[in-house]
């Protein structure tokens, strides 16, 4: 569908696109062009006596309009924020009326709705008041405000970090095959020479950061091996990395190794992970159904997932997470519930239920796959929520993504005491992160999130290797100077 935006403020066109995507999943936005379009959005505004009068009119297949007034603020940054919000809320109202669609998260387009609630609470209002502000201001549904409440109450049960705490992220950008929905940068784990050179550089970076940490006051809170698939590396490579990180691993409160694919795991690798006292791992089926697994490019079966899960359990792993995806191609609600039942029978300590999103960097986007019916996926997510709560797994973090089926969310559920601190910290920006390896983004968080600065590592393992000294220097600048 072609959408034409006629606006005096082109700089907000991306924000306009974010609102349009709440109602229309497949569209091309043209801004101030002389072209035909299915929907024409005309934005007008004027300033009268210190007030901005802003209107949105829709024409083409829809005819409606919306109007609002906002005070002009003297602080330029505040004024810009309010101006953008006024435009988005007007457009949201017009599109809601025209389409009769009520997006579950209302006009919210950000990926971390909990952050907005926390920011209201930081101004001194209660959780209940913050949620009601969210619903009256942004039209967030009561189901989603209840979900937010449950997540925030669950997060309160876990210790928050203090300003000296830091998390360590270790990125391993290799996978055994490319999953069709995935947008992470990862190389195929078929070039042993590249993986060895990568391991050497990663160890160099770890060693440099360890030296910097020695004279600092930072405490290690969590270590998280992500990627890619960390267990796509050979045992020897993994062992070298674990040995280099041994002191850091042993002083951390929580250490996770994403072992996402059963075809990357064997008894020897699990035994190696266990020997470093790492007990949180992730074994991710995404779905139980073989035809779907094949369609999304995962070369394993549900039986292999079960074998790997029970092997890990027998070896003493007592904190296992499983990731599932709602809305995979061709899956209906009974198939999703079948997967949920099957995964729950294995009794993992946590389940992360994602809603399918089609990101620009994924094969699904390249191959022009479309999102499934949002109402069906919404039923899947509602059922997952009910199922998990009935099975004593509470939602403890959530986030949204762009171009996600039904404009829904991803939710992490965990049994009592088994929520992943690293996930909470990452989502709520409650702890600094030193990210090592390709694709990681280091983040320094100052007290009360007053200031957050980020520094990315190169995504591509070749470029990471080429520029390893620069990656180390970036960390020195961000955390130790
Ligand atoms: S989903 Fe995981 S295993 Fe699949 S390509 Fe992405 S990072 Fe690799």
Residue 181 Cα: closest atom of ligand 1 = 1
Instruction: Determine if ligand 1 sits within 6 Å of the CB of residue 184.
Output: yes
Q: In which order are the strands placed within the sheet that holds 452-456? A: 394-399, 410-414, 350-355, 319-326, 280-282, 254-258, 219-227, 165-172, 432-436, 441-445, 452-456
Tell me the mean pLDDT in the region 453-462.
96
Regarding the beta carbon of 259 and ligand 1, being less than 6 Å apart is answered: no
Asked if the model's pLDDT at residue 447 lies above 90, the reply is no
Q: How far apart are CA 228 and CA 282, in angstroms?
A: 13
Q: Is any atom of ligand 1 closer than 6 Å to the C-beta of 179? A: yes
Q: For residues 38 and 60, is the Cβ–Cβ distance under 8 A?
A: yes
Interatomic CA distance for residues 5 and 18, integer angstroms? 13
Tell me the two tokens of residue 340: 């949920």
- Compute the distance between CA of residue 245 and CA of residue 247 in angstroms, rounded to an integer: 6
449: left (phi over 0), alpha (psi -120 to 50) or beta: left
Q: How far apart are the C-alpha atoms of 268 and 313, rounded to whole Å? A: 14
The angle, 0 to 180 degrees and rounded to 10, between the axes of the packed helices 192-214 and 468-479 is: 30
Q: Where in the chain is the domain with CATH 3.80.30.20?
A: 165-479
> In this structure, are residues 180 and 296 in contact, taking their beta carbons and an 8 Å threshold?
yes
- pLDDT per position as a tens digit, 15-55: 999 999 999 988 999 999 999 999 999 999 999 999 999 99
Confidence of residue 449 (pLDDT cuts 50, 70, 90): confident
Return the residue whose CA atom lies nearest to atom 6 of ligand 1. Answer: 182
Ligand 1 in reach of 186 Cβ (< 6 A): yes
457 Cβ below 6 A of ligand 1: no
DSSP-derived secondary structure letter, 431:
S
Distance in Å, CA 462 to ligand 1 centroid: 19
User: Does residue 178 have its Cβ closer than 6 Å to ligand 1?
Assistant: yes
The residue nearest atom 2 of ligand 1, judged by CA position, is 228
Residue 70 is predicted with a pLDDT of: 95
pLDDT digits (tens, 9 = 90+) for 246-300: 999 999 999 999 998 999 999 999 999 999 999 899 999 999 999 999 999 999 9
**DSSP per-residue codes, 136-188:** HHH---HHHHHHHHHHHHHHTTSPPP-TTEEEEEEEE-EESS--TT--S--EE
**Among 260, 297, 362, 365, which is best to mutate for testing ligand 1, by the most ligand atoms less than 8 A from CB?**
260
Dihedral of CA atoms 114, 118, 120, 122 in degrees, nearest 10, equals -170
Query: Which is the CATH superfamily of the domain at 165-479?
Result: tm_1862 like domain (3.80.30.20)
265 C-alpha to ligand 1 centroid (Å): 14
Task: Report how far ligand 1's centroid is from the alpha carbon of 178 (Å).
Answer: 6
Length of the chain: 481
Query: Three-state DSSP class for 315?
Result: coil
pLDDT tens digits, residue range 108-149?
999 999 999 999 999 999 999 999 999 999 999 999 999 999
* Cβ of 229 below 6 Å from ligand 1: yes
pLDDT the model gives residue 481: 85
For a substitution probing ligand 1, which of 171, 176, 179 has the most ligand atoms within 8 Å of its CB?
179
Distance of CA 459 to the CA centre of its chain: 17
Any atom of ligand 1 within 6 Å of the Cβ of 98? no
pLDDT range class, residue 427, cuts 50, 70, 90:
very high
Does residue 261 line the site of ligand 1, with CB under 6 A? Answer: yes
**Contact (Cβ atoms closer than 8 angstroms) between residue 296 and residue 179:** yes
Could you say which DSSP state residue 457 is in? P
pLDDT number for residue 190: 93
Q: Is 31 exposed, middle or buried (0-12, 13-18, 19+ CB in 10 A)?
A: middle
Q: In what order do the strands lie in the sheet with 2-6?
A: 28-31, 2-6, 39-48, 51-60, 64-71
Q: Is 364 in the pocket of ligand 1 (CB under 6 A)?
A: no
How far, in Å, from the CA of 226 to the mean position of ligand 1? 10
Q: What is the mean pLDDT of the chain?
A: 96
């Amino acid at each position: 569908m072609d959408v034409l935006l006629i606006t005096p403020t082109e700089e907000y066109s991306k924000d306009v696109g974010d609102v349009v995507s709440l109602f229309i999943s497949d569209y091309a936005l043209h801004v101030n062009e002389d072209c035909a379009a299915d929907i024409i959005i005309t934005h007008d505004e004027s300033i009268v006596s210190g007030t901005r009068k802003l209107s949105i009119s829709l024409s083409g297949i829809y005819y409606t309009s919306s109007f609002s007034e906002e005070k002009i603020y003297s602080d330029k940054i505040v004024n810009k924020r309010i101006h953008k919000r006024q435009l988005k809320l007007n457009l949201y109202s017009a599109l809601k009326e025209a389409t009769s669609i009520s997006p579950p998260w209302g006009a919210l387009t950000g990926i971390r709705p909990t952050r907005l609630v926390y920011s209201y609470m930081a101004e001194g209002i209660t959780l209940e008041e913050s949620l009601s502000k969210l619903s009256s201001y942004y039209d967030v549904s009561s189901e989603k405000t209840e979900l937010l409440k449950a997540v925030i109450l669950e997060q309160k049960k876990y210790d928050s970090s203090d300003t000296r705490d830091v998390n360590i992220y270790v990125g391993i950008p290799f996978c055994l095959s490319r999953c069709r929905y995935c947008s992470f940068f990862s190389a195929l784990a078929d070039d042993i020479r590249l993986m060895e050179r990568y391991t050497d550089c990663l160890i160099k970076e770890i060693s440099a950061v360890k030296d910097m940490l020695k004279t600092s006051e930072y405490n290690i809170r969590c270590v998280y091996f992500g990627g890619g698939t960390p267990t796509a590396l050979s045992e020897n490579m993994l062992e070298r990395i674990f040995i280099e990180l041994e002191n850091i691993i042993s002083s951390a409160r929580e250490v996770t190794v994403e072992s996402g694919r059963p075809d990357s795991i064997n008894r020897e690798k699990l035994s190696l992970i266990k020997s470093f006292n790492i007990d949180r791992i992730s074994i991710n089926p995404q779905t139980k159904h073989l035809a779907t697994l094949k369609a999304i490019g995962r070369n394993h079966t549900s039986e292999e997932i079960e074998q790997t899960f029970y092997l890990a359990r027998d070896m003493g792993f007592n904190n296992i997470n499983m990731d599932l995806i709602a809305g995979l191609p061709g899956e209906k609600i009974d198939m999703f519930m079948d997967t949920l039942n099957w995964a729950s029978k294995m009794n993992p300590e946590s389940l992360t239920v994602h809603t399918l999103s089609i990101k620009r960097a994924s094969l699904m986007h390249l191959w022009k796959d479309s999102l499934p019916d949002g109402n069906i996926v919404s039923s899947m997510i509602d059922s997952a929520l009910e199922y998990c709560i009935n099975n004593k797994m509470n939602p403890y973090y959530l986030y949204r993504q762009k171009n996600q089926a039904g404009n829904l969310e991803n939710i992490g559920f965990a049994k009592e005491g088994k929520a992943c601190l690293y996930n909470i910290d990452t989502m709520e920006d409650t702890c600094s992160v030193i990210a090592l390896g390709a694709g990681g983004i280091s983040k320094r968080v100052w007290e009360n999130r007053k200031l957050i600065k980020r520094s990315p590592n190169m995504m591509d393992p070749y470029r990471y290797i080429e520029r390893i000294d620069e990656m180390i220097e970036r960390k020195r600048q961000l955390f130790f100077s």
